[in-house]
Amino acid sequence: MVTAVPTTDAGAQPGSAPPTKRSLELVMLAFAAIVVTTALVLVELNQPQGVTRSVLYDGAAYLALFGAAHVAVRRFAPYADPLILPCVALLNGLGLVMIHRLDLADAASAASVGDRVPAGNLPHQIAWTTFGLALFVGVLALVRDHRMLARYGYTCGLVGLAALALPGLLPSAVSEVNGAKIWLRLGGLTIQPGEFAKILIMIFVAAFLVTKRDLFTTAGRKVLGMELPRARDLAPLLAAWGISLGVLVLEKDLGTSLMFFGIVLVLIYVATERAAWMVIGLIFFLGGATVSDMIFKHVQQRVTAWIDPFSDYDGAGYQMAQSLFGLGTGGVFGTGLGAGRPDLVPEAHTDFITAAIGEELGFVGLAAVLLTYLLVVMRGMRTALTVRDTFGKLLAAGLAFAIGLEVFIVVGGVTKLIPLTGLTAPFLAYGGSSLLANYILVALLLRISHAARSPAASSPPRKPVAPLAEARTEMVQRP
Amino acid sequence: MNTPLRRVALAVMGMIVLLLANATYIQVVNADTYRTDPRNRRVLLDEYSRQRGEIIAGGLPVASSAETSGQLRFLRRYLDGPMYAPVTGYYSLRYGAGGMENAMDSVLNGSDGRLFVRRLSDLVTGREPSGGSVELTINPAVQRVAYDQLTRRGYTGAVVAIKPSTGEILAMASTPSYDPNQLSSHDGAQQESAWNADTSAQRGAPLTNRAVAAIYPPGSTFKLVVTAAALEAGKATPQSPLTAAAALQLENTTTLLHNFADQPCGPGATVTLKTALVRSCNAAFAELAATVGEADLRKQAQLLGIGQQDLAIPTPVTPSTLGAIPDVAALEQSGIGQRDVALSPLQNAMIAATIANGGVRMKPQLVRNILAPDLSVLDRTGPEQVGVAMSRVTADQIRDLMVAAENSYRNDGKINGVSIAAKTGTAEHGADPKNTPPHGWYVAFAPAGNPQVAIAVLVENGGDRNLEATGGSLAAPIGRAVIGAALQGAR
């Protein structure tokens, strides 16, 4: 069992334990709080009523919330990576400011036509953030060693698959929102089980690959200088491919399908160290994509709207065109927070929040957000590189890559690089399930990074070191 | 396992770089395309937060912006909306801007270079920025008569009145018209229903400014161009003999081209050019066009502005055209303003104005001055001479022919003591021309000795007279009323 070793009582040799860098995390969190509060001030400045003192309270509340998360990290995972939490806090805070900003725009346009002012999305998102951080602390407190997760590998896999498949199999009345069957409606609450399934399945695949790793490295025939795996070893990959196609067909969700397949493929590649898997996977992907484009109408629509959104400007291409107008109007430096019209893009607070950021903060702001994501992914990859155990490596790589892939799919969709898929930007966008799942994801990543950086985990359990002269002889077992 | 991990990390970096490159393409390289796309409402929304300049005609603000308490701060309002609509255009949140609102947008919204110093001082002094104003050449009295004359009988058509010496447009009416106040409403549903009605073909597409954005076969009014070409090329004089036959067999065909009502042009075998123009004999002019030849006809048409692609007043004007003239038969038909010849009412008024101005063509102008928000003059348009379309001698000869023509017409609404030079036209069109009510034309200028106004009147599809309609019966009374209003103002 790994126990937290605070820097202050570093044991027999003072200074030998590496610094925890928790203070750096706190400083960076304060920095994120300043950035977010400034952003909020800018939004308010650009509104008719101007800035009120409540902005300061909002900033303080934000800092208190993430301060609590920081204290939990200090307590439960003191050696955790010091940059991941501040980055996530920054993204989450920016998302809250943007959602608040869009609420203001909706309220203003409702007032101008004399409609009832809508309640707004901000209170929900704040509640979800609080709940997400509570979950974050809970996971850190509960999962004291990530390796224990491997023991529940198959359970996780089963629950994950069920969660992934559930909305697709349930009647549309309970599971369909805006054409995608990825929801569960329970009373007043709608949750997206797929977001949680993503993590459960990663745990399963990592655990599975650790035990069956040898299987995948058995060489088959050699083609074009590349060792192909044996046909029968393709089964797990084929299963993943089949499941993601099933998601696509039953749930009409391009994004989840793509995420699922991408993560499994990368985990297999990392575990086996064989590029052949990547090539085979990409061929599967291209085949699946081509066939889906030919067969499924909802895929075709997305592809047409992607190739030329202006060809059906008033229909399928409208949202994409509005996004491009917003991004173009924003230009390099943006219109300024609160001074643009990101509310003209439908679903600006969820799928298209990055378009809203690109409009008001410009290319510069969008690039900053993307680089913040990149930082989180790179810190996660670093964790995967440094952690000793194979399961930890695979899980960290999967968690980090999941964020990177999701950002690519979302932002690529919004900026017309790839077809639109209907995923949301982690931490930025409005949506409870995504926020909760991603806080669990980050908690696991921090847990692994703690294991990677903590002296207790990085070396085998230390025995009391006696002077060499007093060393005893050892008995070696006979062969 | 670390090698693939590093590769995956690199791949994620590559993905982010790809996103950044794509964002650069959209937000930096292509930004202006998206920003200025007419469907991008952001720019318009931004404009609604500033006081837009006025459009002024004869001292009256025919388009102005008033502050509201709504989310869109300023509401665009139009005085006598339908009457001035062809001049002002519209300014709509949902459908963008049209007409003068569109053509002079940079001045009206304040972004024009001529307002730069003003903007700078706004910035320094904290004065609220506002757009410049546009003062038109329109004379409200003439505009009102033109619009009333067209709408009184429910005609679909257009009237253009030009001051020959300067090219200033005194009136530009088009019916059926629309109310731009409906399109500039801040109520989206009202905008939409107005837009649908204004673009509906069943209702005659009111949004189309027939004075400049539509071209029609000019019929007999085109005989002025043929006459000018013949006189300028020295191929005829007003006394030259032309066939008096009631019909002419088109060269190399068996088709007959008939005079109006199949009447012979005179008792003898020939008539003079003068008589042929006064009586508007088709056979005679078909013969004359063949004598002039395609090259000289085209040259004269071009000198008069037909075929000019980039004319803007500053609203763009649809180019008039002679069409293709593949053979002599086509040339003969074109000589009476049929076949593929098509002129806009503005173009036809410009021809009359050029003759009135002694052959010197002036650029038609709708904007007199550009004004700063405090109404001080920033820029004066001033008359602009385009070129000499014909000699003064030719112009005077044609004027005399037109005076004779006017004197031969029925006495509908003639003005005492004013000598008018005019030419009517009754143009067939459509797939079944003999059974489709013709377009009626009237081009004129007055007073003949010292022209103050040149006009073109077009009434589509026989107005209220169906197949019996002629230019003389439909369009001439309107033209004379407009001339009367213009001369009253000029005196």
pLDDT of residue A236: 75
Taking an 8 Å cut-off on Cβ atoms, the answer to whether A381 and B9 are in contact is yes
Rounded to 5°, the CA angle B120-A331-A417 comes to 170
Whether residue B293 is contained in a domain is answered as yes
Interval A135-164: pLDDT, tens: 999 999 999 999 999 999 889 989 988 888
Q: Out of A270, A331, A371, whose CB is closest to B31?
A: A331
Comparing alpha-carbon positions, the chain B residue that sits nearest to A329 is B35
**Percent of chain B surpassing pLDDT 70:** 98
Interval A27-42: pLDDT, tens: 999 999 999 999 999 8
Cα separation, B49 vs B441, whole angstroms: 45
Rounded to 5°, the CA angle A412-A413-A417 comes to 50
Is A404 part of the contact surface with chain B (CB cutoff 8 Å)?
Answer: yes
Q: Which residue in A364, A417, A418, A448 has the most chain B C-beta atoms within 10 A of its own C-beta, making it the best mutation to test that interface?
A: A417
Q: Which pTM value belongs to this model?
A: 0.67
CATH of residue B437's domain is: 3.40.710.10
Is A174 part of the contact surface with chain B (CB cutoff 8 Å)?
Answer: no
More confident residue, A472 or B396: B396
User: In which domain, by residue range, is B456 found?
Assistant: 219-370+383-490
Residue B5 distance to chain A (closest CA, Å): 6
Taking an 8 Å cut-off on Cβ atoms, the answer to whether A270 and B4 are in contact is yes
Residue B473: pLDDT above 60? yes
Residue A225: pLDDT above 80? no
pLDDT of residue A14: 47
Q: What is the mean pLDDT of residues A175-179?
A: 74
Please list every residue in chain A whose beta carbon sits closer than 8 Å to the beta carbon of residue B12. 374, 377-378, 381, 400-401, 404-405, 408
Structure tokens at A210: 């650790």
Contacts of A89 (CB under 8 A, 6+ apart): A29, A32, A33, A66, A69
Interface of A with B in 23-52 (CB under 8 A): none
Whether residue B254 is contained in a domain is answered as yes
Comparing alpha-carbon positions, the chain B residue that sits nearest to A395 is B5
Radius of gyration over every alpha carbon of chain B, rounded to an integer in angstroms: 27
Under the banding of pLDDT at 50, 70 and 90, the label for residue A112 is low
Whether residue B447 is contained in a domain is answered as yes
Active site residue B220: yes
Q: What is the mean pLDDT of residues A310-325?
A: 88
Residue B212: pLDDT above 50? yes
pLDDT of residue A11: 41
User: In chain B, how many H helices and how many E strands?
Assistant: 18, 19
Contacts of B318 (CB under 8 A, 6+ apart): B212, B213, B214, B215, B344
Structure tokens at A440: 């669990």
Cα separation, B297 vs B335, whole angstroms: 9
Q: What is the mean pLDDT of residues B430-446?
A: 86
The number of folded domains in chain B is 1
Is A412 part of the contact surface with chain B (CB cutoff 8 Å)?
Answer: yes
Residue A275 distance to chain B (closest CA, Å): 8
Residue B252: pLDDT above 70? yes
Number of A–B residue contacts, CB under 8 Å: 138
Interval A344-374: pLDDT, tens: 888 888 889 999 999 999 999 999 999 999 9
Longest dimension (CA), chain B: 110
Residue A182: pLDDT above 90? no
pLDDT of residue A2: 43
Taking an 8 Å cut-off on Cβ atoms, the answer to whether B5 and A393 are in contact is yes
Under the banding of pLDDT at 50, 70 and 90, the label for residue B343 is very high
Whether residue B3 is contained in a domain is answered as no
Is A370 part of the contact surface with chain B (CB cutoff 8 Å)?
Answer: yes
Cα separation, A55 vs A53, whole angstroms: 5
Rounded to 5°, the CA angle A112-A116-A119 comes to 110
Residue A109 distance to chain B (closest CA, Å): 7
pLDDT of residue B290: 87
Residue B26 distance to chain A (closest CA, Å): 6
ipTM topping 0.85? yes
Whether residue B346 is contained in a domain is answered as yes
Interval B112-168: pLDDT, tens: 878 877 777 776 776 777 888 999 999 999 999 999 999 998 899 999 999 999 999
Structure tokens at A308: 């030329």
Is A328 part of the contact surface with chain B (CB cutoff 8 Å)?
Answer: yes
